[in-house]
Structure 1
Amino acid sequence: TASVMERARRRWAEMQQQGYETLTVEEVAAQIAERDRLDTTRQAAPLRQAEDAIPLCTDGLTIPDVVARITEHYQAIAQPSPEFQII
């Protein structure tokens, strides 16, 4: 996950590339924060983090950085299956 401001910066950059220049980063952040509030407080299936989720703050990370961190974590906890052997 990323902070509201990080997500706003990313979304704002996308909007700039697409030619949408009407909102400020702060306005985009406010919209994201409101959407998060609505998603987490709705009556039907409110958005919640899974109990077994492993949080990863992606603020300031590139996509390859995130993939590397996920891969490192997986390799640290993965147990090889007895049925699977590399020959």
Structure 2
Amino acid sequence: MDEHTRTELEAAAFRRLVGHLRERTDVQNIDLMDLAGFCRNCLSKWYLAAAEERGVEMDYEQARETIYGMPYEEWKARYQTPRQD
């Protein structure tokens, strides 16, 4: 497989993952961290790091909005539930 095709496939898989996480607002970040070792915030940080590596100007809140599909504070107010201990 050539590099361009690989990149396109990886990008499509990433978009599908982000879309899935946007739909599954019932899944809390803490649950993702406990089970998978990463969460939406991790994806935001990885997205930001990739942008910075390529010289794309972006801040953490912009990266979060890309992953969450809305400003983080709005997502948190709508969907984040208190932690169950």
Q: TM-score range by the shorter chain?
A: 0.3 to 0.5
Structure 1 length-normalised TM? 0.35
**Higher helix proportion, which one?**
2
TM-score scaled by structure 2? 0.35
Q: Which has the larger radius of gyration?
A: 1
Indicate the structure whose relative CO is greater, using CA pairs within 8 Å and at least 6 residues apart.
1
